[in-house]
């Protein structure tokens, strides 16, 4: 491994924290910089020797300061739907001015052809990165298994797992798997110009997922197929914001058409191990 300095943006988010954890296993803490809106929330990382800096996607001045002296940068996509492109542009502009040598971006599986609505913000960000002239690696992440385990409490409460995904096969992986991939790219090696289509080694339908919940919980949980509009209405009634309910509903509908399936095994090849089985992630969610 080289002695380059690595910046992880959105470092206090779920993926960011896991990426920092993965990096700490393979590079010295002194090479890692954690960027977050409120550096006070990174005091535990600072105690481990990680440099913690302010890096707010909406405040370019913080980004200019954060990227100084950085060799490799991980741009974790913003979670502010509809604001992502402008926020990502701020990071990319700062990276270009600072002479960052590699920018890795967490995009979405097959962003250039995907029917997932999130691709509408990921693909323009990819274009901005390409146009910047900065050497890049695109981490086109598939779905997190945790996106589905988040539905377990509701499934147990209402005795059904509901979705508009029909019989679509979903090759998801855990957040920790995707974080390991990001850490691998940041830590060293020649990744410039690479586009990694990342997904889990095993694919499941939501029938499979519901059966595994039933097996582990001891409670019969059927999978109920719903039209997209009805599925969205259920989420709205549960209190989800309109944009989020729309995103989840349309993403599940796209999954029915194969948007979340991939059998290239690129993720496991990159991290040097099998991806986490969905049954393991279900078990962790049930314990929690």
Instruction: Give the per-residue pLDDT at 82.
Output: 85
What CA–CA distance (Å, rounded) separates 288 from 286?
Answer: 5
What CA–CA distance (Å, rounded) separates 111 from 53?
Answer: 30
Q: Are 139 and 182 in contact (CB under 8 A)?
A: yes
For the chain, list the domains and their CATH numbers. 6-142+174-198+263-273 (3.40.50.720)
Pure H helices in 35-83: 43-47, 60-66
Over residues 174-201, mean pLDDT: 97
- Give residue-wise pLDDT tens across range 239-280: 999 999 999 999 999 999 999 999 999 999 999 999 999 999
Displacement of CA 148 from its chain's centroid (Å): 14
Over residues 186-201, mean pLDDT: 97
- Give residue-wise pLDDT tens across range 222-237: 999 999 999 999 999 9
Over residues 115-129, mean pLDDT: 95
Instruction: Give the per-residue pLDDT at 3.
Output: 78
Which among 91, 100, 46 has a CA at the least distance from the CA of 70? 100
Over residues 183-195, mean pLDDT: 96
Rg of the chain, C-alpha, whole Å: 19
pLDDT mean across residues, the chain: 96
User: Which tokens go with 285?
Assistant: 């969610």
Which among 96, 199, 63 has a CA at the least distance from the CA of 143? 199
Instruction: Give the per-residue pLDDT at 258.
Output: 96
Over residues 210-223, mean pLDDT: 98
pLDDT at 1 over 60: no
pTM as predicted: 0.96
Instruction: Give the per-residue pLDDT at 185.
Output: 98
Residue 2 banded pLDDT, cuts 50, 70, 90:
low
pLDDT at 115 over 80: yes
- Give residue-wise pLDDT tens across range 19-45: 999 999 999 999 999 999 999 999 999
Long-range CB contacts (within 8 A, 24+) of 248-254: 249/164, 250/116, 250/117, 251/116, 251/117, 251/118, 251/143, 252/163, 252/164, 252/165, 252/168, 252/228, 253/164, 253/165, 253/228, 254/114, 254/115, 254/116, 254/117
What letters, b where the CB count within 10 A reaches 16 and e where it falls short, cover 18-37? Answer: bbbebbbeebeeebbbbbbb
Could you report how far apart the first and last alpha carbons of the chain are, in Å?
A: 36
Q: Are 198 and 140 in contact (CB under 8 A)?
A: yes
Q: Please report, rounded to a whole number, the percentage of residues in the chain having pLDDT higher than 90.
A: 97
């Amino acid at each position: 491994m080289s002695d380059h300095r690595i910046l992880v943006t959105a470092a206090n988010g779920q993926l960011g924290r896991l990426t920092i954890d993965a990096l700490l296993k393979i590079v010295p803490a002194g090479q890692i910089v954690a960027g977050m809106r409120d550096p006070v929330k990174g005091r535990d990382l600072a105690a481990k020797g990680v440099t913690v800096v302010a890096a707010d996607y909406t405040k370019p001045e913080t980004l200019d300061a954060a990227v100084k002296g950085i060799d490799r940068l991980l741009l974790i996509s913003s979670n502010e739907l509809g604001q992502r492109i402008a926020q990502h542009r701020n990071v990319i502009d700062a990276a270009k001015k600072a002479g960052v040598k590699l920018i890795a971006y967490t995009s979405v599986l097959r962003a250039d052809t995907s029917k997932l609505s999130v691709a509408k913000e990921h693909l323009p960000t990819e274009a901005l990165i390409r146009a910047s002239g900065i050497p890049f690696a695109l981490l086109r992440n598939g779905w997190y298994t945790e996106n589905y385990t988040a539905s377990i409490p509701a499934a147990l409460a209402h005795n059904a797992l509901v979705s508009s995904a029909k019989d679509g096969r979903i090759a998801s992986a855990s957040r920790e798997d995707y974080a390991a991939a990001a850490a691998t790219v940041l830590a060293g090696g020649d990744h410039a110009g690479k586009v990694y289509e990342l997904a889990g080694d095993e694919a499941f339908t939501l029938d499979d997922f519901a059966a595994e919940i039933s097996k582990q919980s001891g409670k019969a949980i059927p999978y109920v197929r719903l039209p997209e509009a009805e599925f969205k209405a259920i989420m709205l009634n549960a209190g989800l914001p309109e944009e989020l309910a729309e995103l989840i509903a349309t993403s599940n509908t796209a999954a029915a058409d194969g948007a979340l399936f991939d059998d290239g095994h690129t993720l496991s090849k990159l991290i040097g191990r099998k991806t986490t089985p969905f049954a393991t992630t279900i078990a962790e969610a049930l314990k929690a």
